[in-house]
């Protein structure tokens, strides 16, 4: 056995979970991504999706993707920098920039590539990169590629953020990078205070709107719009794989920042451009977001219903205020077990276990879509409550 294979053979965490019969990953879906999916020929209620507005099956979105494929083909065969720019890409960029209230925008092939390519590009060796300790993994990947001086602050703790800012040289660039809504915890960044501190210490602010776009703000414009702080935030990032029912991502800012990124962001320059179908689907979804604000209202209706239900059952749900509801189990084994029990009961949820979080913070992530009904949520509440009691969680 070669050294690499010998080293990797020591990894047995997944195998142990498989042997225990509670392995919860790579469950194969045989239908569209809706409130109900088919897995192994069985109907399962889906509460593990990020399709907050439920648009992945919308006829207009599917028709737009098909039409773009017929017109442009299946791919662009190159990067945006060279041969891979379509008029469709430019149209989406202009509409996204206008929608979030910035001068310009560029789109990437995935949301992960946005953070991985933008975060290290904006600051240099003499600058400071400051991030929340629970920022998304894509921000962490970008941070690891940065040559800047990197500091983290405690999650949503503004005293911790200020202490970090006080350590920075006043005449150097300081970029604060935060999630708008945190993807596992469901809580909202304290953006007004972040902006206040940024002004006090002459720092710039970068907000990842992946889980707030389509959820918060006027017509789903995101957390920056929600707080009325779009003009005070320098860089706004978003993804297509959540509310925009596609795959890809974007970054919006003033023209100077975007022009720099067009020529210096490596994951943009050296990746094949977003496919015609993905771009057209995101365009269609963006249009629906603006034409059907009642979708967002329905999302919040089922969210409040679910939040009240879980609190009534006695679940610990942390500080969530959004359609992402963490149900803290605080035990690795029980987290796997309840996920399996719920799947057997026809409820799909996602487990979050160590090493992604400390074993004392494990949880199941329950997420909602605008297309969920109260009746579906009530079924889930009943079954989750029963399984939790069997395991001694409640």
Torsion-angle region of 266 (φ positive above 0: left; ψ -120 to 50: alpha; else: beta): alpha
What backbone phi and psi angles, to 5 degrees, belong to 237?
-115, 150
Q: Which of 51, 138, 183, 241 is catalytic?
A: 183
For residue 172, give both structure tokens.
Answer: 């150097």
What backbone phi and psi angles, to 5 degrees, belong to 230?
-55, -40
Planar angle of CA 359, 357, 334, nearest 5 degrees: 40
Evaluate whether 151 touches 167 at the Cβ level (below 8 Å).
yes
Pick from 241, 165, 170: which is nearest to 205 by CA? 165
Evaluate whether 168 touches 148 at the Cβ level (below 8 Å).
no
In DSSP terms, 174 is beta-bridged to: 128
User: How are beta strands 149-153 and 204-208 bridged, if at all?
Assistant: unpaired
In DSSP terms, 236 is beta-bridged to: 207, 252
The neighbour count for residue 166, using CB atoms within 10 Å, is 11
Q: What are the Cα distances from residue 392, in Å, to 24, 315, 348, 385?
A: 20, 12, 20, 10
For residue 311, give both structure tokens.
Answer: 């609190």
Report the SS3 class of residue 370.
Answer: coil
For residue 305, give both structure tokens.
Answer: 């219903």
What backbone phi and psi angles, to 5 degrees, belong to 68?
-65, -40
Report the SS3 class of residue 37.
Answer: strand
- In the residue annotation, 319 being an active-site residue is answered as no
Q: What are the Cα distances from residue 29, in Å, to 44, 58, 135, 346, 373?
A: 10, 18, 29, 13, 21
Evaluate whether 189 touches 181 at the Cβ level (below 8 Å).
yes
Q: Which of 102, 242, 334, 372 is catalytic?
A: 242
- In the residue annotation, 211 being an active-site residue is answered as yes
Residue keyed to tokens 């009534």: 312
Q: Which of 102, 143, 211, 340 is catalytic?
A: 211
Q: Give me the active site residues, please.
A: 183, 211, 242
């Amino acid at each position: 056995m070669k050294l690499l294979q010998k080293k990797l053979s020591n990894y047995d965490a997944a195998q142990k979970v498989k042997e225990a019969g509670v392995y919860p990953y790579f469950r194969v879906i045989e239908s569209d991504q809706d409130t109900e999916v088919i897995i192994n020929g069985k109907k399962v209620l889906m509460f593990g999706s990020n399709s907050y507005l439920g648009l992945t099956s919308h006829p207009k979105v599917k028709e737009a993707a098909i039409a773009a494929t017929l017109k442009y083909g299946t791919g662009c065969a190159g990067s945006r920098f060279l041969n891979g720019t379509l008029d469709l890409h430019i149209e989406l960029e202009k509409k996204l920039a206008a929608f979030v209230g910035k001068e310009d925008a560029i789109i990437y092939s995935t949301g992960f590539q946005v953070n991985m390519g933008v975060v290290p590009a904006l600051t240099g060796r003499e600058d400071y990169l400051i991030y929340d300790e629970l920022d998304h993994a894509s921000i962490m990947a970008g941070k690891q590629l940065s040559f800047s001086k990197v500091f983290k602050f405690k999650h949503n703790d503004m005293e911790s953020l200020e202490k970090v800012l006080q350590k920075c040289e006043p005449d150097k660039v300081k970029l604060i990078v935060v999630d708008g809504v945190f993807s596992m915890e469901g809580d909202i960044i304290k953006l007004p205070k972040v902006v206040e501190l940024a002004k006090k210490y002459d720092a710039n602010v970068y907000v990842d709107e992946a889980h707030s776009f389509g959820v918060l703000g006027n017509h789903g414009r995101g957390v920056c719009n929600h707080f009325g702080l779009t003009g005070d935030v320098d860089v706004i990032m978003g993804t297509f794989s959540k509310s925009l029912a596609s795959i890809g991502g974007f970054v919006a800012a003033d023209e100077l920042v975007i022009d720099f990124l067009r020529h210096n962001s490596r994951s943009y320059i050296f990746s094949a451009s977003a496919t015609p179908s993905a771009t057209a689907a995101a365009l269609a979804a963006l249009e629906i977001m603006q034409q059907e604000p009642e979708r967002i209202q329905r999302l919040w209706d089922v969210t409040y219903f679910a939040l009240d239900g879980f609190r009534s059952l006695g679940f610990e749900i942390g500080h969530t205020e959004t359609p992402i509801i963490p149900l803290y189990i605080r035990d690795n084994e029980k987290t796997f077990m309840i996920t399996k029990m719920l799947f057997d009961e026809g409820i799909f949820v996602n487990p979050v276990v160590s090493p992604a979080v400390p074993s004392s913070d494990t949880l199941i992530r329950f997420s909602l879509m605008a297309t969920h009904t109260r009746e579906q949520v009530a079924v889930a509440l009943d079954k989750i409550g029963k399984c939790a009691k069997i395991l001694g969680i409640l």
